[in-house]
């Protein structure tokens, strides 16, 4: 099958809410991905409409939300190569129709031969290039094991049916959008150019693909066939494992067949918080996201944000101060809880938030102290998608290769990109400096430890009812994008389209400044923030929150592809799982 494009290039972002509302009122068509779609049954929203459609088709055939999430994830590995992956890792948060919830952690792990000083050369000099963009930057991938585990625990459809759509997309190809054709051409002539297999996978015999051409990925198709036939053994053992280990040996990486064989995804207890009567369900460590979001919400619960006004100077000041405090704790305490003690109960408690509020001055910005600790680099390339099925099971997934196109290394003969997630470990013991390196203990590379993440797939509920499935890419901005989606819905009564479209801000403790999306606020508001003592930077876009909201009145699911992403789209589903 070869999918044609269903809608033309997106209107420019910040084409205001009114236009979005008109698009919705025009009425989406079930069974075809849309920028915004509505359904009484199932819904999938992702950064690539083709993958949303693959998930919606699984729902229509009787699969549940976990099945659809797995199919969508495999399809994104073919159609959204900057971040969709089988060579990376991520997190899945699941809320069942009875209100219970769980999570699957499939974050990459450090190879067995890792050590905290692995990015220092013989002179003890730290190398950013080696830490972030080399074979030593590759963590043991987790995605296939995570999907396998989620399916064994909670899926109902046959595994092969979930992988088959991606096999077809890779073997038969799909039509390249303008955005994707441009993106893979830039990668193949840029960072990918040094690796023959990367050039082969992302060009047409060395020439760039154009928009409208069909892109086929036969090596990736064969890898996906092995996964279809042998589940995670098709990746972690046999041919695929040998291909990965051979590329690691060739390029000086650490991952061996033993590392792959030993990789395990973990089911973990979610982070749970409450905010003005809403329940927030999110990801525990090795994500920092759930803890940081709940900390910030607990701080903000004390203030009347509604009467301050959305994105007013007073509102932005209070939110920035909450973010500042949550991010300081992130740097101080958070890491893989299998290896370090993380005081989760304390950090997510209401009493602790009261303590953090004690020095929050409504009239004056606090000051972040760089001497406490500094922050590591994090790339803004990841992808988030959301699924709800007809029974109300909700699945929130964020997964990543870390940088766009990860390490840039396509496994020869395997056709898939490897992550550069080891860059999320701290650089080296004691190496903390003003340019943003960090050397604190908890998040140093150790054999089989998982690197700290900001990915925050989350679910919002109220009085036992599902309200929204949310999350975003964007490095550390992920936490704040997800936080603001919650504030937009709870404090400002926005529906999901408004909440996703609304301009976003970011503060991460250090550097000590507020970042606002371009055109987010008027110059008066920027001035007022500066008068409160904030440094303010305006420009750019933040995140890609491909979300689903559920109408409290009718139960209708509203899927929204974030207008900031060219190919994002939502697909509603009818049929058994999406009734």
Q: Does 453 bind ligand DON (CB under 6 A)?
A: yes
The nearest distance, CB 96 to ligand DON, in angstroms, is 26
| Closest CB to ligand DON among residues 53, 482 | 482
% helix, strand, coil for the chain, step of 5: 35, 15, 45
The nearest distance, CB 397 to ligand DON, in angstroms, is 13
Q: Does 455 bind ligand DON (CB under 6 A)?
A: yes
| Closest CB to ligand DON among residues 61, 104 | 104
The nearest distance, CB 525 to ligand DON, in angstroms, is 27
- Cα dihedral: 158, 163, 168, 171 (round 10): -140
| Closest CB to ligand DON among residues 81, 473 | 473
Q: Does 567 bind ligand DON (CB under 6 A)?
A: no
Task: Annotate 522-576 with DSSP letters as a single string.
Answer: -HHHHHHHHHTT--EEE-S------EEEE-TTT--EEEE--TTSTT-EEEEE-ST
* Contact range with ligand DON by CB under 6 A, out of 175-183, 190-198, 373-381, 426-434: 373-381
Report the alpha-carbon distance of residue 443 to residue 482 in Å, rounded. 23
| 3 state DSSP class of 271 | strand
Tokens 């001055």, residue located: 361
Q: Does 562 bind ligand DON (CB under 6 A)?
A: no
The binder of ligand DON chosen from 256, 382, 443, 480 (CB under 6 A) = 382
* Contact range with ligand DON by CB under 6 A, out of 28-36, 341-349, 471-479, 568-576: 471-479
The binder of ligand DON chosen from 478, 486, 494, 496 (CB under 6 A) = 478
The nearest distance, CB 380 to ligand DON, in angstroms, is 4
The nearest distance, CB 150 to ligand DON, in angstroms, is 19
Report the alpha-carbon distance of residue 72 to residue 53 in Å, rounded. 8
* Contact range with ligand DON by CB under 6 A, out of 227-235, 239-247, 453-461, 571-579: 453-461
Q: Which two tokens stand for residue 248?
A: 């690691």
The binder of ligand DON chosen from 79, 454, 488, 508 (CB under 6 A) = 454
| Closest CB to ligand DON among residues 256, 440 | 440
| Closest CB to ligand DON among residues 81, 577 | 81
Three-class secondary structure assignment of 398-437: EEECCCCCCCCCECCCCCCECCCHHHHCCCCCCCCCCCCC
The binder of ligand DON chosen from 473, 559, 572, 575 (CB under 6 A) = 473
- Strands of 505-506's sheet in order across: 505-506, 514-516, 536-538
The nearest distance, CB 515 to ligand DON, in angstroms, is 15
Report the alpha-carbon distance of residue 575 to residue 555 in Å, rounded. 17
- For residue 8, the 8-state DSSP code is -
| Closest CB to ligand DON among residues 107, 324 | 107
Question: What is the bridge-based pairing of β-strands 89-95 and 394-400?
Answer: antiparallel
The nearest distance, CB 40 to ligand DON, in angstroms, is 32
Would you give the end-to-end CA distance of the chain in angstroms? 24
The binder of ligand DON chosen from 225, 378, 389, 491 (CB under 6 A) = 378
Report the alpha-carbon distance of residue 472 to residue 502 in Å, rounded. 14
Give, in order, the Cα–Cα distances in Å from 185 to each of 133, 188, 197, 199, 306: 19, 5, 14, 9, 46
Q: Does 84 bind ligand DON (CB under 6 A)?
A: no
Q: Which two tokens stand for residue 130?
A: 């080696």
The nearest distance, CB 472 to ligand DON, in angstroms, is 8
| Closest CB to ligand DON among residues 182, 413 | 182
From the candidates 72, 382, 398, 400, give the one annotated as an active-site residue: 382
Backbone region of residue 285 per phi and psi (left: phi > 0; alpha: psi in -120 to 50; beta: other values): beta
| Other beta carbons within 10 Å of 16 | 10
The binder of ligand DON chosen from 42, 87, 116, 380 (CB under 6 A) = 380
| Closest CB to ligand DON among residues 169, 292 | 292
With contact defined as beta carbons under 8 Å apart, do 557 and 34 qualify? no
Q: In the chain, count H helices and then E strands.
A: 20, 19
Report the alpha-carbon distance of residue 4 to residue 212 in Å, rounded. 9
Tell me, by CB under 6 A, how many residues bind ligand DON: 16
The nearest distance, CB 487 to ligand DON, in angstroms, is 20
* Contact range with ligand DON by CB under 6 A, out of 44-52, 157-165, 470-478, 500-508: 470-478
Q: For 218-369, where are the alpha helices, taking DSSP H only? A: 218-230, 233-236, 238-251, 257-262, 289-300, 305-308, 313-333, 344-347, 350-357
Q: Does 475 bind ligand DON (CB under 6 A)?
A: yes
Q: Does 407 bind ligand DON (CB under 6 A)?
A: no
With contact defined as beta carbons under 8 Å apart, do 73 and 84 qualify? yes
**Site track for ligand DON across 326-355, x = CB under 6 A:** ------------------------------
| Closest CB to ligand DON among residues 203, 287 | 287
| Closest CB to ligand DON among residues 285, 559 | 285
The nearest distance, CB 7 to ligand DON, in angstroms, is 23
Backbone angles phi, psi at 171, to 5 degrees: -80, -45
The binder of ligand DON chosen from 57, 67, 247, 424 (CB under 6 A) = 424
| Closest CB to ligand DON among residues 67, 378 | 378
Q: Is 382 a catalytic residue?
A: yes
Burial of 448 (0-12, 13-18, 19+ CB in 10 A): middle
| Other beta carbons within 10 Å of 245 | 18
The binder of ligand DON chosen from 35, 67, 321, 381 (CB under 6 A) = 381
* Contact range with ligand DON by CB under 6 A, out of 265-273, 352-360, 379-387, 522-530: 379-387
List, by residue number, the catalytic residues. 382
Residues in contact with ligand DON by CB under 6 A are: 378-382, 400, 402, 421, 424, 453-455, 473-475, 478
């Amino acid at each position: 099958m070869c999918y044609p494009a269903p809608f033309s290039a997106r209107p420019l972002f910040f084409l205001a809410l009114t236009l979005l509302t008109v698009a919705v009122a025009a009425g989406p068509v079930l069974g075809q991905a849309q920028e915004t779609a509505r359904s009484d049954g199932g819904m999938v929203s992702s950064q690539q409409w083709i993958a949303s459609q693959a998930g919606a088709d699984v729902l229509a055939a009787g699969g549940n939300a976990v099945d659809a999430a797995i199919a969508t994830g495999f399809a994104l590995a073919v159609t959204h190569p900057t971040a969709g992956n089988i060579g990376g890792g991520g997190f899945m948060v699941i809320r069942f129709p009875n209100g219970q919830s769980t999570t699957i952690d499939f974050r990459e792990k450090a190879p067995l031969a890792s050590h905290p000083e692995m990015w220092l050369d013989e002179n003890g000099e730290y190398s950013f290039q080696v830490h972030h963009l080399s074979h030593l930057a590759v963590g043991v991938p987790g995605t296939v094991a995570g999907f396998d585990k989620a399916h064994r625990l909670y899926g109902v459809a046959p595994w092969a049916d979930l992988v088959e759509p991606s096999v077809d997309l890779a073997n038969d190809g799909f039509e390249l959008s303008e955005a994707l054709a441009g993106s893979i051409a830039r990668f193949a002539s840029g960072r990918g150019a040094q690796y023959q297999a990367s050039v082969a996978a992302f060009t047409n015999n060395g020439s760039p693909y154009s928009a409208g051409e069909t892109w086929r990925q036969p090596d990736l198709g064969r890898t996906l066939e092995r996964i279809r036939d042998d589940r995670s053994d098709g990746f972690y053992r046999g041919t695929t494992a040998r291909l990965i280990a051979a590329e690691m040996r060739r390029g000086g990486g650490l991952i061996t067949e033993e590392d792959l064989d030993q990789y395990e995804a973990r089911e973990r207890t979610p982070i749970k918080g409450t905010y003005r009567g809403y329940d927030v369900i999110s990801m525990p460590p090795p994500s920092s996201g759930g803890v940081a979001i709940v900390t910030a919400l607990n701080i903000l619960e004390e203030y009347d944000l509604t009467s301050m006004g959305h994105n007013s100077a007073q509102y932005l000041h209070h939110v920035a101060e909450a973010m500042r405090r949550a991010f300081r704790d992130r740097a101080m305490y958070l890491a893989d809880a299998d290896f370090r003690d993380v005081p989760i109960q304390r950090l997510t408690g209401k009493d602790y938030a009261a303590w953090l509020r004690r020095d929050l001055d409504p009239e004056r910005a606090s000051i972040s102290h760089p001497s406490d600790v500094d922050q590591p680099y994090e790339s803004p390339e990841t992808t988030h998608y959301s699924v709800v099925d007809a029974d109300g099971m909700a699945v929130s997934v964020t997964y990543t290769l870390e940088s766009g196109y990860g390490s840039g290394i396509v496994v020869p003969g395997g056709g898939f990109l490897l992550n550069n997630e080891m860059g999320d470990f701290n650089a080296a013991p004691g190496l903390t400096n003003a340019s943003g390196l960090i050397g604190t203990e908890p998040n140093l590379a150790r054999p089989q430890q998982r690197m700290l993440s900001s990915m925050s797939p989350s679910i919002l509920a109220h009085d036992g009812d599902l309200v929204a499935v949310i999350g975003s890419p964007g490095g550390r901005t992920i936490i704040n994008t997800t936080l603001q989606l919650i504030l937009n819905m709870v404090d400002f009564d926005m529906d999901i389209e408004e909440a996703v479209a609304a301009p976003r801000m970011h503060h991460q403790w250090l550097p000590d400044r507020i970042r606002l999306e371009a055109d987010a606020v008027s110059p008066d508001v920027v001035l007022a923030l500066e008068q409160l003592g904030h440094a303010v930077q305006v420009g750019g876009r933040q995140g890609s929150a491909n979300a689903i909201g559920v109408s409290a009145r009718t139960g209708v699911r509203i899927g929204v592809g974030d207008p900031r992403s060219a190919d994002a789209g939502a697909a509603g589903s009818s049929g058994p799982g999406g009734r």
